[in-house]
Amino acid sequence: MNRKKRFLVGALILAGAVAYLMYTGVRQTAVYYLTIEEFLTKKEALANEGLRVAGRVQLGSVTKKMTSSGEELNFRIGDFKGDGAPAESVPVHFVGVTPDMFKAEGGSDVIIEGKYREGTLYAQNVLTSCPSKYEAAAAK
């Protein structure tokens, strides 16, 4: 009987340790996924939280600079409407490899992975998404 109790106690400790590791692993990698409209309404509550924000790079807001740690990219993201009317936007700071489909003039649909602090989204990753529909180039 004593041997069975030791086995049961050991199994419970092992199961508890595995459950704890799963919980902390999921908690550290879990991030909010928001559109820019959703983010703008609750950006202060999400300060220093890991998040993903989907939006469109504003035209003319992109600046690039090469640094020793990679390409430094600063731009603003706003809503997907793109109707030309000024809309609220958020500055983004990213250092790393710029995605191939990122347009230097702006207008790319992007997903920013990072943290929001001090009024800026500090991106760890910048992902570009394909347009929702294909538009052929204008004939010359």
Distance between CA atoms of 90 and 36, rounded to whole angstroms?
Answer: 9
76: in domain: yes
Q: Are 126 and 94 in contact (CB under 8 A)?
A: yes
Same domain? For 4 and 61 the reply is no
Domain that holds residue 8: 1-30
Same domain? For 53 and 66 the reply is yes
The string of pLDDT tens digits covering residues 86-97 is: 578 889 999 988
Structure tokens at 95: 């250092």
63: in domain: yes
Residue with tokens 């508890």: 16
Nearest to 92 by CA among 138, 128, 134: 128
* CATH code: domain of residue 110: 2.40.50.140
Structure tokens at 89: 């936007």
Give pTM, 2 decimals: 0.69
Number of domains forming the structure of the chain: 2
Same domain? For 48 and 114 the reply is yes
Nearest to 78 by CA among 60, 99, 97: 60
Among the residue ranges 65-69, 89-93, 113-117, 122-126, the one predicted with the least confidence is 65-69
Same domain? For 85 and 99 the reply is yes
Same domain? For 48 and 23 the reply is no
